[in-house]
Amino acid sequence: MTTRTLLRVRRPGRLAAEAAALVIAAAVAFPLYWMLLSAFKPAGEIQSTEARPWTLAPSLDSFRRVFEQQEFGRYFVNSLIVAGSVVVASALIAFLAATAVTRFRFRFRTTLLIMFLVAQMVPVEALAIPLFFLMRDMGQLNTLGALILPHLAFSLPFAIWMLRGFVKAVPEALEEAAYIDGASRTRFLWQILFPLVLPGLVATSVFSFISTWNDFLFAKSFIISDTSQSTLPMALLVFFKPDENDWGGIMAASTVMTVPVLVFFVLVQRRLVSGLGGAVKD
Amino acid sequence: MTADTTAYKTEGPGAAARRGGGPARPPRRRPASSTRRPGWTPWLYLLPALVLLGGLLVYPIYQLGLISFLEYTQAQVSGGEPTTFQGFGNYATLFGDSQFWQVLLATVLFAAACVVATLLVGCALAVLLTRVRALPRLALMMAALGAWATPAITGSTVWVFLFDPDFGPVNKVLGLGDFSWTYGRYSAFALVLLEVLWCSFPFVMVTVYAGIRAIPAEVLEAASLDGASQWRTWRSVTAPMLRPILVVVTIQSIIWDFKVFTQIYVMTNGGGIAGQNLVLNVYAYQKAFASSQYSLGSAIGVVMLVILLAVTLVYLRLMRRQGEEL
């Protein structure tokens, strides 16, 4: 709290800063506002070249079109399944791995850490080619597994890297006390360490959730023939037409795709900010 | 890699007792934390991660390299024709193609522009956040989180729509008539840059802001008690303490912006008119999946991998120099 009062400028400068902050906030939020607005605009207003920043006749037509489009609901569920599996699995696996590299000293520990760091830099898109063949050989093409497995692998290095700070922050004395009280290593891991690291896990999950939910490339390349296994980004593309884009449909579908992430973000926002602080501070 | 590294570690003497772990175990004082005699436990914890990373990251990288040395087109993939070893043939083809060099240059310049813009805007707004009261701060934070949370594909479509020559509000407000942003090479890149900036400055802003907030109040109090001016405090206290964070956000931005795919693909419809907006990523994808030249696509992938690896090495050196312990 004192930090804030100290950093604060108590002069007319502050009012200007606050005005600037509000204007910038409005500008940053505008694309999202425009997306929502256009999703609710009736077709006639979207097609009009006036581009009014409000609508007097909100309609659900675009949303109706989106959900009437074949299997949109299914794509939505598929997206949820893929992102949900990746978040849960990568959180658990990364928690174990982060514990291993922060609370144990063993040979190759530093090597491993460097490898996790390097792994974050690997361009996912370049790996689409070999992964395509791998998924084909594993018989995973056209299944959600082809989306879950690669994303799991891609979100792990960053998750491990980020969780490190949180696991390290749990005092060693606590671990010692747990053992003296007769807790087994497994018990310490899941009943003491895990709850303490949970805020960090939440912050980390945001990243795996977003990168998976956003995935466009793998959904496009690995789900070729069985569209029932497709995810939301593909559903969005349906509304792009060579002659004339259905902007109302695109914006409504975008809204449906964006809102769950926004909700997720708002829910974890506090933890995210403190989490980032914790992760980079160490 | 898991197999041979685990093999060398034999079980520590405490391992059996630990596994027993029940109440019968004598209340003997264990070595403080698990740092001594870890035995196979860390490897057990690491096992799932290593299996996944080995199978879905390391092996594909090996495959990527391998394919880049083969002749691998539709005929080999589905036609059952034998693959032939090409040596550096694919690389020779690639490096002999002027388009490759043009795309490489465009990628580097575009990524650099994105990184600089993101860092400047992100840091400036982080400082701004520390100077305003709760309400404007909340507004800006929420707007930024919204932009950050927006999936790349929806962000791309919305920005294209905002700048649409017929129905978009931007041209109306700026009086640009039916100017098409995606038609020209530079205006298309500029439009994508704006979208990338919009969705990536929040990470920098939030991280740097969290970093500033994490500076202990006592340190700043001490500085002001010692009579340091605001500028002096920033230069001698705040900035040095922020440096590790700035390194992290810079490197992350380089990595992200170098790999931009969805935005370019969606906003310029697969790389722009006549490929004028291609970046390496999209170029590799087009080569591999659109024209079935998997080996050329893989060779481009290898080039990207090498460049990003170089960035990583710089990062590691910076971290080492700061004396950060891994």
- 3-class SS of residue B11: coil
Q: Give the chain B residue whose CA is nearest to the CA of A137.
A: B77
- Chain B residues in contact with A110 (beta carbon < 8 A): 326
| Closest among B61, B122, B79 to B256, alpha carbons compared | B122
- Does any CB of chain A come closer than 8 Å to the CB of residue B120? no
Segments forming the whole domain that contains residue A19: 12-59
Kindly give, in sequence order, each residue whose CB lies less than 8 Å from that of residue A263, ignoring residues fewer than 6 positions away.
none
B-proximal residues of A, 176-235, CB under 8 Å: 176, 179-180, 182, 184-187, 210, 213-214, 216-217, 221, 233
Fold designation for B104-280: MetI-like fold (1.10.3720)
Asked if A24 and A121 sit in the same domain, the reply is: no
pLDDT of B207-243, one tens digit each? 899 888 888 888 888 888 888 887 888 788 888 888 8
Q: What are the pLDDT digits (tens) for A57-93?
A: 788 888 988 888 767 888 999 999 999 999 999 999 9
Amino acid identity, residue B220?
A: L
* A38 and A77 inside one domain: no
Domain count, chain A: 2
Give the pLDDT of residue A10. Answer: 55
Residue B146 is nearest to which of A124, A262, A281, comparing CB atoms?
A262
> Is A65 a domain residue?
no
- So where are chain B's domains? 104-280
With CB atoms and an 8 Å threshold, state whether B132 touches A101.
Answer: no
| A155 and A41 co-located in one domain | no
CA distance B36 to chain A (A): 7
- Asked whether the beta carbons of residue B153 and residue A216 sit closer than 8 angstroms, the reply is yes
Nearest CA in chain B to A3: B217
Looking at the structure, tell me whether residues A30 and A95 fall in a common domain: no
* Ordered DSSP codes for A41-110: S-HHHHHSTT--S--SS--SHHHHHHHHSTTHHHHHHHHHHHHHHHHHHHHHHHHHHHHHHHH---TTHH
Judge if A149 and A264 occupy the same domain. Answer: yes
User: Do both A136 and A276 map to the same domain?
Assistant: yes
State the CATH number of the domain containing residue A247: 1.10.3720.10
Q: Where are the alpha helices (DSSP H) in B11-133?
A: 15-20, 41-53, 59-68, 74-77, 89-95, 98-130
Q: Answer for the pair B267, B188: CB distance below 8 angstroms, yes or no.
A: yes
Mutation target to probe the A interface, by most A beta carbons within 10 A, among B11, B37, B51, B52 is B52
CB-CB: which of A122, A130, A216 is closest to B262? A216
Any chain B CB within 8 A of the CB of A23?
no
Residue of A nearest to B282 (CA): A125
Q: What is the ipTM of this complex?
A: 0.84
Q: Are B146 and A28 in contact (CB under 8 A)?
A: yes
Q: How far is CA A41 from CA B70, B100, B228, B279, in A?
A: 53, 44, 56, 35
pLDDT of B171 higher than 70? yes
Cβ within 8 Å, pair B220-A2 = yes
Q: Mind telling me how many Å the CA of B85 is from chain A's nearest CA?
A: 17
pLDDT tens-digit map of B237-288: 888 888 888 888 898 899 889 989 999 999 998 888 888 999 999 999 998 8
Residue A115 lies in a domain: yes
Q: Are residues A50 and A107 in the same domain?
A: no
Residue B21 has pLDDT above 80, yes or no: no
* One domain for residues A113 and A37: no
Residues A242 and A189 placed together within one structural domain of the fold: yes
Exposure class string for B183-193: b at 16+ Cβ within 10 A, else e: ebeeebbebbb
Nearest CA in chain A to B154: A254
In this predicted structure, the answer to whether residue B160 has a pLDDT above a threshold of 90 is yes
**Does residue A159 share a domain with residue A19?**
no
Query: How many beta-carbon pairs under 8 angstroms link A with B?
Result: 340
Do A86 and A220 lie in one domain? The reply is yes
* Whether pLDDT at B99 is above 80: yes
Residues A182 and A252 in one domain: yes
Supply the DSSP symbol for A16.
H
* Predicted TM-score (pTM) above 0.90: no
